[in-house]
């Protein structure tokens, strides 16, 4: 580590609130699927800012669109219309099949909006305020109070209890555990279509179909969190589209802006007509021209470059190479996930592997203490996967 990098890290430790245990590198810029620190060292990135930088770094069309928008208009507030928000909403509706969009600043805010939508929908229906939401164990929906309240990890919640209240937790992929919690008070069932932080576990078709049936029969809203697994990562625009079902409300963020903070919650016309009205919800920055220009450009580039098709082309190769690595190392118990959202489950902590990989120029992260998570830019190639596999092999050994 250079003296310059050490000085930056020391200053950060004095100035920034210590809520992250950061890796001891200071990143400076990116190009394609590589990041570079301030000393010029190159790193192959299989994290993509935690499933954010789908298009990779330094994409000229994306950057040019944002530079042009900076010169036009950054912010107006939601008292007025702006063209990028209208165009981004139109494209997002087209690819998702949903009917109404509310733009937020983050995924956690999108979850907050989805929760408020569900409670207002139920209140409009029966005038009660004692409604319950069923969430899943091992889920992760965000760190704000509402999103944290439906996050199925007690360790994250315990210091901040009580949360928003009336939350019940079922077992992911266990339909009977959901049925046991449904009551006249239930207004929504929220889950990730593919659990991310909870272990890279996709929902089974039977589980999603069963929840859809429960919701239809009881006028309960089905909320699908697509913040990490959406935007092409699993080989379709949104992961739920492969299941033959449709949520009443869904959340999106991360790759929606490819680096610019933006999220969204979307809903059907039926839900929109019986839930949030003027005065119920708002945001100062959400949906501003700059963030929405980013989302619009991302949606356009995904379509123009057939990013979804590329994911479906390269994902089997990633699965194959991970399988080869597993076959060579008895400490790896399982491969999980789908598309370009994969995990290797080890028989112990993976922090040592991550640190060794970083030394060798490969960026990886975990999902829990014993799972290596692979969420690379969606433009990753087979050659990049080969390089990753070679480095990872040597780190495990």
Over the chain, what is the mean pLDDT? 97
Residue range 110-144, pLDDT digits in tens: 999 999 999 999 999 999 999 999 999 999 999 99
| pLDDT at residue 225 tops 90 | yes
Do 107 and 312 form a contact (C-beta atoms < 8 A)?
A: no
Q: What is the CATH number of domain 73-304?
A: 3.40.640.10
Q: What is the DSSP letter of 174?
A: -
**pLDDT tens digits along 227-284:** 999 999 999 999 999 999 999 999 999 999 999 999 999 999 999 999 999 999 999 9
Mean pLDDT of the 206-210 span: 98
The answer to whether the 3-58+307-396 and 73-304 domains have the same CATH topology is no
Q: Beta strand 132-136 with 167-170: parallel, antiparallel or unpaired? A: parallel
pLDDT in tens, 366-378: 998 999 999 999 9
The CA distances from residue 23 to 42, 193, 220, 343, 364, in Å, are: 15, 30, 43, 20, 11
Query: Under a CB-based contact definition with an 8 Å cutoff, are residues 121 and 135 in contact?
Result: no
pLDDT, residue 360, reads: 98
Q: Cα 348 to chain center, whole Å?
A: 25
Q: What is the structure's pLDDT at 397?
A: 79
Q: Tens digits of per-residue pLDDT, 312-329? A: 999 999 999 999 999 999
pLDDT at position 315 is 98
Q: Which pLDDT score, from 0 to 100, does residue 270 have?
A: 98
> Do 384 and 353 form a contact (C-beta atoms < 8 A)?
no
pLDDT bracket for residue 63 (50, 70, 90): very high
Examine the pLDDT at 1 and tell me if it is beyond 90: no
pTM, two decimal places: 0.96
Q: Write out the H or E segment, with its range, that includes residue 214.
A: helix 205-218
What is residue 390's predicted lDDT score, i.e. its pLDDT?
97
- What would the 3-class secondary structure string for 106-147 be? CHHHHHHHHHHHHHHHHHHHHCCCCCEEEEECCCCCCCCHHH
Q: What is the pLDDT of residues 8-20, one digit of tens each?
A: 999 999 999 999 9
Q: Any idea where the domains of the chain sit in the sequence?
A: 3-58+307-396, 73-304
Tens of pLDDT, residue by residue over 273-314, are: 999 999 999 999 999 999 999 999 999 999 999 999 999 999
Q: H or E stretch including 317?
A: helix 307-328
CATH architecture of 3-58+307-396: Alpha-Beta Complex (3.90)
Q: Tens of pLDDT along 159-192?
A: 999 999 999 999 999 999 999 999 999 999 999 9
């Amino acid at each position: 580590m250079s003296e310059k990098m050490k000085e930056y890290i020391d200053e950060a430790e004095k100035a920034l609130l210590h809520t992250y245990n950061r890796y001891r590198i200071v990143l400076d810029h990116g190009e394609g699927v590589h990041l570079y620190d301030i000393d010029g060292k190159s790193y192959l990135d299989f994290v993509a800012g935690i499933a954010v930088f789908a298009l990779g770094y330094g994409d000229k069309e994306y950057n040019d669109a944002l530079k042009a928008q900076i010169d036009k208009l950054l912010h107006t507030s939601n008292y007025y219309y702006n063209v990028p928000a209208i165009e981004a909403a139109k494209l997002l509706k087209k690819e998702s099949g949903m009917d109404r969009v509310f733009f937020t600043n983050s995924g956690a805010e999108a979850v907050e909006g989805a929760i408020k939508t569900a409670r207002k929908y139920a209140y409009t229906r029966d005038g009660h305020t004692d409604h319950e939401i069923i969430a899943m164990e091992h889920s992760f929906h965000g760190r704000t109070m509402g999103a944290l309240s439906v996050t199925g990890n007690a360790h994250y919640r315990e210091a901040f209890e009580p949360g928003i209240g009336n939350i019940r937790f079922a077992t992911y992929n266990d339909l009977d555990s959901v049925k046991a919690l449904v009551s006249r008070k239930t207004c929504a069932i929220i889950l990730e279509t593919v659990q991310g932080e909870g272990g890279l576990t996709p929902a089974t078709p039977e589980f999603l179909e069963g929840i859809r049936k429960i919701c239809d029969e009881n006028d309960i809203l089905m909320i699908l969190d697509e913040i990490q697994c959406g935007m092409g990562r699993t080989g379709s625009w949104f992961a739920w589209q492969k299941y033959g079902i449709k949520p009443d409300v869904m959340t999106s963020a991360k790759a929606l802006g490819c680096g610019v903070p933006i999220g969204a919650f979307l809903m059907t016309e039926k839900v929109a007509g019986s839930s949030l009205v003027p005065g119920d919800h708002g945001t100062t920055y959400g949906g501003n021209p700059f963030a929405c220009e980013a989302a619009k450009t991302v949606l356009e580039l995904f379509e123009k470059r057939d990013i979804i098709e590329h994911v479906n082309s390269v994902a089997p190769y990633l699965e194959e190479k991970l399988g080869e690595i597993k076959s060579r190392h008895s400490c790896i118990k399982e491969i999980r996930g789908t598309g370009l959202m994969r995990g290797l489950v080890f028989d112990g902590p993976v922090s040592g592997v991550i640190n060794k990989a970083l030394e060798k120029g490969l960026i990886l992260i975990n999902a829990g203490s014993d799972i290596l998570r692979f969420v690379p830019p969606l433009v990753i190639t087979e050659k990049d996967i080969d390089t990753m596999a070679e480095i990872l092999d040597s780190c495990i050994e």
